[in-house]
Amino acid sequence: MAMLTTVDGTQITFAPKAVSGLADHDLNSGLIVTSVYGVTKEVLQINESVEEFMARLRITKNFAKLTRPNDFPVWINGSAVSSIRKPFPNEYMTGVKAVVFTADFTQGVKELPEEVTVAINEHGGEL
């Protein structure tokens, strides 16, 4: 078990394998804050950097680093990925070449589907 503290001071005990994704910016506001996906139904924001958080939990090797449409990185737990596909026409903004699905979130990324598949499988995925 591990613990995190949200930016508002809420402490949460969780299983590290529950973390399905991480980002260093809030997707909606663009604020610089680590966003944690998968621990709860909501996206959690913490004050630790993505790298510090992953190192503390010893989960760095499980996460593929990909690129969001806004050019910010997103780290996705390879074992959390259920599928990858090309985006449908007009589904995402220009530049998105692949869509990654987990049980907790869906993310469009700039890498090609083949590149995403390799990266995910190198980090525990089974695609």
C-alpha–C-alpha distance, residues 38 and 117, integer Å: 20
This prediction's pTM: 0.95
pLDDT for res 27: 83
Residues 2-61 pLDDT 10s: 999 999 999 999 999 999 999 999 988 889 999 999 999 999 999 999 999 999 999 999
Cβ neighbours around 56 below 10 Å, total: 14
Query: Average pLDDT, whole number, for the chain?
Result: 96
Cα end-to-end distance, the chain, whole Å: 27
Say if residue 123's pLDDT is above 90.
yes
Spans of all domains in the chain: 2-122
pLDDT for res 29: 86
Which residues, in sequence order, are bridge partners of residue 13? 3
